[in-house]
């Protein structure tokens, strides 16, 4: 009798990694889909549509980087948080999603895995937009603490929504997304905090060390 060995089950860690990658790919592809819908509504390709195409290209480039990395930690490189946060907000705002307010500020560089930072901010922003809903508001900003403070300085990315509050919004990918952010934050030496927003909803704070 011919027997064939069955493939060994995937290790739990590998399965979690794959789920995380698929989850993040879904976020990125959803952003591209929203932009494409906006282009169809224009009916032609005026300058605004050209801008959307550029943003779509940026999103696709990030996705290609993510797939190429295989979710393996990369060497830390300089990452400018304020600019990255603004680009993510611009890509999603052009889809006609919730109102996104980015507080102005000076460049805030940190050293981290650039793809991991993109994944963390993308997940937190998408979760906030989902909680706020199409008529809600999401506010984004960055605060810094002086390097002279105990433990060194920090840069804190804040993303607040005016949704119903953590755990009371639409079901879906929020739980998995927050798990991904928590794991990536630990790898980058960052910390994730979730607390009620000042008026309503949830505020996510991602704290990076700054030398």
> 27 lies in a domain?
yes
What CATH number has the domain bearing residue 54?
3.30.565.10
Our count of domains for the chain comes to: 1
Task: Count CB atoms within 10 A of the CB of residue 205.
Answer: 16
pLDDT per residue as tens digits for the range 121-179: 999 998 899 888 888 999 999 999 876 555 568 999 999 999 886 655 555 445 667 88
Average model confidence (pLDDT) across the chain: 78
pTM summary value: 0.71
Q: 35 by DSSP, 3-state: which?
A: helix
Neighbours of 80 (CB within 10 A): 14
Residue 142 resides in a domain: yes
| Residue 202, Cβ density class (10 Å: 0-12 exposed, 13-18 middle, ≥19 buried) | buried
The CA distances from residue 138 to 11, 58, 63, 103, 160, in Å, are 38, 22, 24, 11, 6
Question: pLDDT by residue (tens digit) across 81-126?
Answer: 999 999 889 888 876 678 999 999 889 999 999 888 998 999 999 8
Whether 91 is covered by a domain: the verdict is yes
Predicted confidence (pLDDT) per residue in 175-200, tens digit: 667 888 999 999 889 999 998 877 78
**Angle subtended at Cα 127 by Cα 29 and Cα 145, rounded to the nearest 5 degrees:** 115
The per-residue pLDDT for 151 is: 57
Q: Break the chain down into helix, strand, coil percent, rounded to 5.
A: 50, 20, 30
Domain interval for residue 174: 12-210
pLDDT bracket for residue 7 (50, 70, 90): very low
């Amino acid at each position: 009798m011919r027997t064939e060995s069955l493939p060994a089950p995937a290790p739990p860690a590998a399965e979690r990694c794959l789920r995380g990658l698929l989850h993040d790919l879904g976020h990125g592809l959803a952003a591209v889909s929203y932009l494409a819908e906006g282009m169809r509504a224009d009916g032609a390709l005026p300058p605004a549509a050209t801008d959307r195409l550029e943003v779509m290209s940026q999103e696709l480039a990030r996705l290609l980087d993510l797939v190429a990395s295989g979710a393996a930690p990369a060497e830390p490189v300089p990452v400018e948080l304020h600019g990255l946060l603004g680009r993510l907000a611009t890509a999603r705002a052009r889809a006609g999603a919730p109102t996104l307010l980015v507080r102005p500020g000076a460049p805030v560089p940190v050293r981290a895995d650039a793809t991991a930072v993109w994944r963390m901010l993308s997940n937190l922003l998408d979760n906030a937009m989902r909680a706020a809903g199409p008529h809600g508001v999401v506010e984004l900003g960055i605060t810094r603490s002086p390097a002279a403070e105990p433990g060194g300085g920090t840069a804190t990315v804040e993303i607040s929504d005016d949704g119903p509050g953590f755990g009371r919004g639409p079901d879906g990918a929020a739980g998995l997304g927050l798990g991904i952010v928590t794991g990536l934050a630990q790898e980058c030496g960052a910390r994730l905090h979730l607390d009620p927003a000042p008026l309503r909803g949830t505020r996510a704070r991602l704290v990076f060390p700054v030398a």
